[in-house]
Structure 1
Amino acid sequence: MKIFLLGGTKDSINIIKFIKKNYDAFILTTTTTEYGAKLAKEGGSDDIIARPLPKEEIINIITNEKFDILIDATHPFASHITQTSTSIAKELKIPYLRFERPITNLKNINTSNIIYANSFVDAGKIISNEFNQSNVLHFAGANTMEDVLKNVSTEKFYPRIVKVKSSIEKCKKLDINPNHIIPMTGAASKEENIELIEKYDAGIIITKESGEIGGVLDKIEAANIKNIKIIMIQRPQIKEINKKDIVSNLEELDNKIKNFF
């Protein structure tokens, strides 16, 4: 079985390890960064492409190398990639699965400090209107900084990012103080988040609704302990996905693969 995996997330690494353990499979993983590619290789992926791929190139690779299934395990906020992957699967009539991490269960969590927003531009506007004297911890990745900074001063902006070349270049382009950049090596614990809030005297956090695997609960709990607000960007809704093609855990993924083959 040949699997074309759109990766770059912790979910995708778990998928690689699971499939290599349970199936006789060749996996090609695509990521947009060298860091993501390194993790995929360590996870056991047979081949890796570490750059964004245009639609036509993905089609050519799947067709020419005769892949059997397309699995999209990209981040819940990478909606454009998921839209592209669904259209490719339909065009090529190839089995398709979208691995979508569950939305964070907040049933027993104090949510009084959460402010929901639909976009990062909206998050910046909320901060400009209501928290313009506060230092901002940005826990939502380098690609979302520019939208926030349309309304927020870089003087009060502290992004936590993976320190790879592309992210550092984005910070330079946006004139972010290098001393404000917080190196990231994975999801932070509650205690680490508290330390960052205290170190940078933060009054507000920005995060994505990226699920428990993305450390959302630890961010909320840290904000609650320090009694500061957290702006949570809600996930985009992708209309192109058929619900029957979505799985949210490895057991569901396993059942779908067995049904396909």
Structure 2
Amino acid sequence: MILVLAGTLDGRELAVRLAKTGFQVMVSVISEYGRSLAEVPGISVHIGQLAAEGMKELITANGIKTVVDASHPYAVNVSANAMAACENSGIPYIRYERAEVGLPDYEQLYMVSDASEAARLAARMGKVVFLTTGSRTLKIFKNEPQLADCRLVARVLPQADVITECIGLGFNPGDIVAIKGPFSHELNVALFKEYGTQVVITKNSGTVGGADTKISAAMELGLPLIVIGRPAMNYKNLCKTPEEVICKVFDVR
């Protein structure tokens, strides 16, 4: 049995490819929404966030022989827990990480190391900040004193718990864009215009995550674009394509 940590579209697609190759596959997702996307014939689904010990228990209970970590490029805690659980369980860990988008030569593109740095920089660039970084970093932006007099627009998944979290953090309902991506260049342009955006903040989550069209839309409108870089992580058995993952799975059996 292979456990695939698949909170992303490409992770779910990878799980299906592994199953079609002949492996027994279990997919781990965080939410019921994730389950609804991942649940396909022939693949079992585990729901819930897992710390290292919980993941080790899941590995033992289900006879997991290999873990394929296809979690989001910025979900470093998930990856750290997975590597620790695999080491403690004595099984192979394989990391699948989608490629980054090549950043263009754009004079208003600014690279930063984390959300806190992005928040402070954005405060100096405009009063309407469009956040396309997902829900996990919203608290950082809302708690940044330098952004207190700025309008923050959050684009998030249309899930009840995420919207409730946004309201709890103090976002006005009119500043919550609850819609599932990725988005076309044209839709990004339209949304940035609609909200009077003066600064865009994003992550380099790859083409699958829509980073390319966010970047191109900001460039078309001449907007400052702040890109949060991927966290540094020393992954074991790092693969950049699904084909590499499948070959590595055969290698470690």
Q: TM-score, normalised by structure 2?
A: 0.94
Task: Indicate the residue corresponding to 1:146 in structure 2.
Answer: 139
- 2:243 counterpart SS class: helix
Q: CA deviation at 1:123?
A: 0.9
- The answer (yes or no) to whether the contact 1:16–1:45 under 8 Å persists in 2 is no
- The answer (yes or no) to whether the contact 2:51–2:78 under 8 Å persists in 1 is no
> 1: CA distance between counterparts of 2:205 and 2:136?
15
- 1:142 counterpart SS class: coil
Task: Indicate the residue corresponding to 1:210 in structure 2.
Answer: 205
> 1: CA distance between counterparts of 2:6 and 2:52?
15
Q: CA deviation at 1:173?
A: 1.4
Cα-to-partner distance string for 1:27-75 (whole Å, 9 max, x where unaligned) = 2211122222211114x56222222123222111211221111111111
How do residues 211-250 of structure 1 correspond to structure 2 at under 5 angstroms? 211-239=206-234, 241-242=235-236, 245-250=237-242
- The answer (yes or no) to whether the contact 1:3–1:67 under 8 Å persists in 2 is yes
1:45–1:246 distance in 2 versus 1, CA, 3 Å: farther
Q: CA deviation at 1:228?
A: 0.3
Matched positions, count:
251
- 2:143 counterpart SS class: coil
1:37 pairs with one of 35, 38, 52: 35
Which amino acid is the alignment partner of residue 211 of structure 1? G
> 1: CA distance between counterparts of 2:186 and 2:201?
17
- 2:198 counterpart SS class: strand
Task: Indicate the residue corresponding to 1:122 in structure 2.
Answer: 117
> 2: CA distance between counterparts of 1:251 and 1:74?
17
Matching of residue 78 in structure 1 with residue 87 in structure 2: no
- The answer (yes or no) to whether the contact 1:4–1:67 under 8 Å persists in 2 is yes
Q: CA deviation at 1:233?
A: 0.3
- 2:202 counterpart SS class: strand
Task: Indicate the residue corresponding to 1:254 in structure 2.
Answer: 246
- The answer (yes or no) to whether the contact 2:181–2:210 under 8 Å persists in 1 is no
**Identical residues among aligned pairs (%):** 25
Which amino acid is the alignment partner of residue 24 of structure 2? F
> 1: CA distance between counterparts of 2:13 and 2:203?
21
Matching of residue 9 in structure 1 with residue 8 in structure 2: yes
> 2: CA distance between counterparts of 1:45 and 1:120?
39
How do residues 124-203 of structure 1 correspond to structure 2 at under 5 angstroms? 124-128=119-123, 130-131=124-125, 133-151=126-144, 152-153=147-148, 156-203=151-198
Runs of at least 4 residues off by over 4 Å: none
- The answer (yes or no) to whether the contact 2:52–2:84 under 8 Å persists in 1 is no
Q: CA deviation at 1:258?
A: 1.7
Q: CA deviation at 1:99?
A: 0.6
- 1:159 counterpart SS class: strand
> 1: CA distance between counterparts of 2:46 and 2:12?
14
- 2:230 counterpart SS class: coil
Structure 1 unaligned spans of 5+: none
- 1:213 counterpart SS class: coil
Cα-to-partner distance string for 1:133-180 (whole Å, 9 max, x where unaligned) = 421111010111111122223861111100212211211211101111
> 2: CA distance between counterparts of 1:97 and 1:178?
41
Task: Indicate the residue corresponding to 1:62 in structure 2.
Answer: 59
- The answer (yes or no) to whether the contact 2:19–2:43 under 8 Å persists in 1 is no
- The answer (yes or no) to whether the contact 1:154–1:176 under 8 Å persists in 2 is no
